[in-house]
Chains A and B, each alone.
Chain A
Amino acid sequence: MNKKEHLELYHQMVLIRRTEERGAELYQQGKIGGFMHLYIGQEAVSTGLIAARQPNDRVITAYRDHGVAINCGIPVNEVVAELLGKATGVSHGKGGSMHMADPQKNFWGGHAIVGAHLPIATGMALGDKYGNRNNVTICMFGDGATNIGFFHEALNMSKVWKLPVLWVCENNKYGMGTAVDRASAVSSIAMKARGYDMPNECVEGMDVMKVYEAAQKAIEAVRSGKGPFLLEIQTYRYRGHSMGDPERYRRQEEVRKWEEQDPIGIYRQYLAGNKIASGKPLDEIDEQVMDEVQKAVEFAEASPEPTMEDLYADVYAD
Chain B
Amino acid sequence: MARITMREAISQALWEEMERDPAVFIMGEEVGVWGGSYAVTKGFYDHFGGDRVRDTPIAEAGIVGAAIGAALVGQRPVAELMTINFAFVAMDHIVNEAAKLHYMFAGQFKLPLVIRTVGGGGRQLGATHSQTPDAIFAHFPGLKVVAPSTPEDAKGLLKSAIRSDDPILFIEHATMYQVRGDVADGENLIPIGKSRIQRPGKDVTIITYSKGVEISMKAADELAKEGVEAEIVDLRTLRPLDMEPVFESFKKTNRAVVVEEGWKSFGVGSEIASRIYEECFDYVDAPIKRVAQDEVPLPYNRTLEQVALPQAEDVVTAVKEVL
Contacts and interface: CB of A to CB of B under 8 A. Distances in A.
A175 B59 CA distance: 12
Contact of B300 (A93, A111, A176): A93
Interface of B is mostly: loop
A162 B58 CA distance: 27
A11 interface: no
Contacts of A248: 33-35
Contacts of A94: 126-127, 299-301, 304
Nearest to A247: B34
Given A35-B129, A112-B126, A248-B34, A99 B57 contact: no
Interface string A221-257: 0000000000000000000000000101100000000
Interface string A126-164: 000000000000000000110111000000000000000
A308 B57 contact: no
Contacts, number: 121
Interface string A84-107: 011000010111111100000000
B30 A33 contact: no
A115 interface: yes
Contacts of B128: 98-99, 111-113
A183 B129 contact: no
A149 B61 contact: yes
A147 B35 CA distance: 21
Interface string B199-223: 0000000000000000000000000
B297 interface: yes
Interface string A33-61: 11100000000000000000000000000
B33 A178 contact: yes
B37 A176 contact: yes
Nearest to A242: B37
A99 B300 contact: yes
B260 to A, nearest CB: 19
B297 A95 contact: no
B29 interface: yes
Contact of B59 (A98, A148, A176, A306): A148
Contacts of B85: 113
Given A34-B124, A35-B129, A113-B89, A95 B300 contact: yes
B294 interface: yes
B296 A315 contact: yes
B275 interface: no
B308 interface: yes
A311 B59 contact: no
Given A94-B304, A148-B89, A306 B299 contact: yes
Interface string A177-216: 1100011100000000000000000000000000000000
Interface residues of B, number: 36
Interface string B47-70: 000000001111111100000000
A74 interface: no
A149 B58 CA distance: 9
Nearest to A182: B55
Interface string B287-323: 0000000111101111110011000000000000000
Contacts of A308: 304, 307
Nearest to B56: A183
Contacts of A305: 301, 303-304
A178 B57 contact: yes
Contacts of B297: 315
Contact of A183 (B55, B300, B307): B55
A284 interface: no
A96 B60 CA distance: 25
B86 interface: yes
Contacts of A183: 55-58
Given A35-B125, A112-B129, A178-B30, A311 B300 contact: no
B123 interface: yes
A114 interface: yes
A311 B305 CA distance: 8
Contacts of B304: 93-94, 305-306, 308, 310-311
Contact of B127 (A93, A99, A116, A249): A99
A23 to B, nearest CB: 14
A177 B123 contact: no
Contacts of A95: 126-127, 300
Contacts of B59: 147-149
Nearest to A312: B296
Interface string A302-318: 00011010111001000
B129 A148 contact: no
Contacts of B294: 311-312
A249 B299 contact: no
A96 B126 contact: yes
5 contacts: A86-B301, A94-B304, A149-B89, A177-B33, A178-B34
